[in-house]
């Protein structure tokens, strides 16, 4: 902002400074949100707000939130769904937060020209619907040692570009998944890519 004040008439410089200040503001916002979420979780103040929502809408909102970041890195972003009941009861804002986080890591750790697939699959278990969200990337993958620690607070693997994260994302994700009585599992191979599978039970409405 200081540089903008000094270069107000220089369109080209202003465009560059605006782009930088936009990404810095987004980074700061996500940092503040992560810190707030973490302190809510630590004082048991995070509560889910279950309400009727549409899985189809959740998928398309998440897709559009992520699409431009994928395009910036020329990543082939695919969405595959097999939904038997779109009308579920749950905290869709928190599920969206989880997906954006996992997909954000997938973009971050996948080089230009790679591929990311988001799958949403369902199966019925009596009255309950099990929804599986899966994110697969062709990124750098992680070592078994990194894989053992990814859900720990402030942990960043040695593949991590520390400037772009804070190591809080997946520890928050796991705690929210547990609040939903869900399960999250990562499978990864160094140099090959990563698959994150998250299963959550839900009721129809
Ligand atoms: P951050 O992304 O801020 O570093 P996270 O808690 O989101 O923190 O992730 C923790 C670590 O897990 C990352 O630093 C990285 O080492 C590893 N990781 C997470 N997702 C992926 C992925 N899709 N591919 C490779 N490594 C990953």
pLDDT in tens, 43-86: 999 999 999 999 999 999 999 999 999 999 999 999 999 999 99
Q: Can you say whether the dihedral through the CA atoms of 31, 167, 76, 56 is positive or negative?
A: negative
**Residue 161 has what pLDDT?**
62
Nearest CA to ligand 1 atom 7: 169
**Contact between 65 and 79 (Cβ < 8 Å):** no
Burial of 89 (0-12, 13-18, 19+ CB in 10 A): middle
**What is the whole-number distance in angstroms between the Cα of residue 105 and the centre of ligand 1?**
6
**Residue 162 has what pLDDT?**
55
Query: Cα separation of 116 and 27, whole Å?
Result: 22
**Contact between 195 and 109 (Cβ < 8 Å):** no
Please give the angle made by the CA atoms of 52, 57 and 58, to the nearest 5 degrees. 80
Q: What separation, in Å, do the N-terminal and C-terminal C-alpha atoms of the chain show?
A: 49
The pLDDT-based confidence of 168 (bands split at 50, 70, 90) is very high
The pLDDT tens digits for 182-199 are 999 999 999 999 999 999
Mode of pairing for the β-strands spanning 87-90 and 128-137: unpaired
Answer yes or no: is pLDDT of 102 > 80: yes
Query: Cα separation of 154 and 99, whole Å?
Result: 19
Q: Is 155 in the pocket of ligand 1 (CB under 6 A)?
A: yes
SS (H, E, C) 92-134: HHHHHHHHHHHHHHHHHCCCCCCEEEEEEEEEEECCEEEEEEE
Q: Is 142 in the pocket of ligand 1 (CB under 6 A)?
A: yes
Answer yes or no: is pLDDT of 163 > 60: no
Q: 136-162: buried (b, 16+ CB within 10 Å) or exposed (e) per residue?
A: bbbbbbbeeebbeebbeeeebbebbee
**What is the whole-number distance in angstroms between the Cα of residue 180 and the centre of ligand 1?**
22
Nearest to 144 by CA among 192, 187, 109, 101: 187
Looking from the CA of residue 139, the nearest atom of ligand 1 is 24
């Amino acid at each position: 902002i200081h540089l903008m004040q000094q270069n107000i008439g220089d369109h080209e410089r202003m465009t560059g400074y605006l782009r930088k200040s936009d990404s810095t503001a987004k980074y700061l916002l996500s940092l503040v949100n992560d810190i707030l979420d973490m302190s809510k979780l630590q004082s048991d103040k995070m509560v889910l707000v279950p309400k009727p929502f549409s899985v189809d809408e959740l998928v398309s909102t998440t897709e559009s939130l992520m699409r431009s970041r994928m395009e910036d890195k020329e990543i082939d972003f695919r969405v595959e769904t097999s939904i038997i009941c779109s009308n579920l009861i749950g905290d869709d804002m928190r599920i969206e937060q989880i997906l954006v986080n996992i997909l954000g890591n997938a973009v971050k750790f996948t080089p230009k020209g790679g591929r990311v697939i988001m799958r949403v699959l369902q199966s019925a278990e009596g009255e309950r619907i099990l929804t599986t969200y899966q994110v697969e990337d062709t990124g750098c993958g992680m070592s078994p040692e990194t894989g053992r620690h990814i859900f720990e607070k402030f942990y960043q693997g040695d593949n991590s570009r520390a400037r772009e994260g804070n190591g809080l994302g997946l520890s928050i994700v796991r705690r929210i998944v547990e609040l939903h009585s869900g399960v999250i599992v990562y499978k990864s191979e160094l140099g090959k890519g990563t698959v994150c599978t998250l299963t959550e039970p839900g009721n129809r409405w």
